[in-house]
Amino acid sequence: MAAALGIRNHPEHPAVGLYSHAVTDQNVIHDGTVFDDDHLPSTIVGRNRHMNEVTDALAPIQDGFRAENCFLFGPSGVGKTTVAKAAVRELRQEVLEVPYAYVNCWQDYTRNAVLEQISRDLVGAALPRSASTGQLIDRITADLDGPGVVILDEVDQLRENKVLYDLHEIRGISWIGIANREVDLLADLDERVTSRISVAYRVNFDTYGEDAITEILSRRAREGLGPNAVDEDVLRRIARLSEGDARQAIAGLRVAARMASREGLSAIPGRLVEDAVADAEREVRQKTISKLNTHQRALYEVLTEEDGLIQKELYAQYEEAHEDPVTLRSLRENHLPKLEHYNLIDVEWDRGSKRYHLVGVDHTAPTPQS
């Protein structure tokens, strides 16, 4: 399908770009939108196999049938969202006007919020906020013309995962669910939902290698920076420091270009790389913190006040901080792993107990004074 659509599956496509400041850093940056989170590159670098597996799952739509449901699992910054969107883009070039919806489950995490977004994107129906779940499902079912695709990004953030069952029951809808780990997604599913999704495709993503990240950055640089604004050695250093995370690497390049522009330079010197990557890491972290749900934010704020708590201590303080706390099991299986996956907390074992630290905080114990 990819060849027919003219989209080159180069080793990968980076799912992310950051901080849309188009044409503000004029010395170095030519088009800042290239660094936005939602920028979808024309060439997918380093993800041929993953693209093929997702397009295989979607292939039945070409013959008018419902596609296979599909899960994409892997750490942050490995191209999951970009691959999902690129696969749908290819499909819609092959089969015009395939109904399509994108839902960010970190923002739309309730059952009705997901269905409302799908009703708007998939069938163009804007129902009042007072519409019931049943009304939303009925409207989507009635108005859906042919098979359609829904991308559920951050699907493990759903507070009401019964919506997966709802979507399975709507004739013609298939979905691509994106999450960090399968075990986190399945932790709270009831048997009806689990049985419906057990046959879905699983596509697992690993972190990028240094060469792939360098190629991703090279393509972003050609699209978004001025001529000769950065050499390969600088790109490779950014890639190495980003440790396989394309989102982090793209942010690092963006910040390095911004720093060079502020110095009145037309190219990025190597001396800026380490500071740029460190600044980008802080920016990415702040953006992630801003998206946390109330439970995750409460945990983060507790650790901000007192770093290095063991699990029981952390839960006790979280219970006091949150007006509607979840169980310790839910915290352990859902919310703490998410903070860890997004590189907001570190976990260490201390005499048989897990101890939690904020990333970037020096938690080395001081040497006792004699």
Q: 252 and 199 in one domain?
A: no
Last residue of a domain, one of 163, 186, 204: 204
How distant, in Å, are the alpha carbons of 13, 69, 145, 186, 218 from that of 56? 18, 11, 22, 24, 29
Asked whether residue 43 is assigned to any structural domain, the reply reads no
Q: 168 and 80 in one domain?
A: yes
Last residue of a domain, one of 204, 236, 252: 204
Q: 198 and 130 in one domain?
A: yes
Q: Which amino acid is at 222?
A: R
Locus of tokens 């994108």: 102
Per-residue pLDDT, 202: 94
Confidence of residue 9 (pLDDT cuts 50, 70, 90): very low
Question: Residue 210 above 60 pLDDT?
Answer: yes
DSSP 11: E
Per-residue pLDDT reduced to its tens digit, 253-306? 999 999 999 999 999 999 999 999 999 999 999 999 998 989 999 999 999 999
Q: 53 and 187 in one domain?
A: yes
Look at strands 201-204 and 100-104 and give their pairing.
unpaired
* Region 147-171 average pLDDT: 91
Q: What angle do CA 353, 358, 363 make, to 5 degrees?
A: 75
Range of the domain at 325: 293-358
Mean pLDDT score across all residues of the chain: 87
CATH number at residue 222: 1.10.8.60
Q: 344 and 245 in one domain?
A: no
Per-residue pLDDT, 318: 95
Other CB atoms within 10 A of residue 188 CB = 16
Question: Residue 231 above 80 pLDDT?
Answer: yes
Number of Cα atoms under 13 Å in the Cβ half of residue 349: 2
Residue 55 tokens, joined? 């397009």
Other CB atoms within 10 A of residue 286 CB = 9
Name the H helices within the chain. Answer: 2-5, 48-58, 80-94, 111-123, 133-143, 162-169, 182-186, 191-197, 210-224, 232-242, 246-262, 273-290, 294-305, 311-321, 328-330, 336-341
Question: How many domains does the chain fold into?
Answer: 3
Locus of tokens 């269905």: 115
Locus of tokens 């493990």: 156
Locus of tokens 């110095």: 263
Rounded CA gap, 16 and 29, in Å? 17
Q: In what order do the strands lie in the sheet with 309-310?
A: 309-310, 353-358, 345-350
Question: Backbone phi, then psi, for 362, in 5-degree steps?
Answer: -75, 105
Last residue of a domain, one of 204, 221, 237: 204
Question: Residue 72 above 90 pLDDT?
Answer: yes
Query: Percentage of residues in the chain with pLDDT exceeding 90?
Result: 68
Question: Residue 308 above 80 pLDDT?
Answer: yes
Per-residue pLDDT reduced to its tens digit, 104-155? 998 898 999 999 999 999 988 777 778 899 999 999 999 998 899 999 999 9
Q: 52 and 184 in one domain?
A: yes
Q: 257 and 170 in one domain?
A: no
Confidence of residue 21 (pLDDT cuts 50, 70, 90): very low
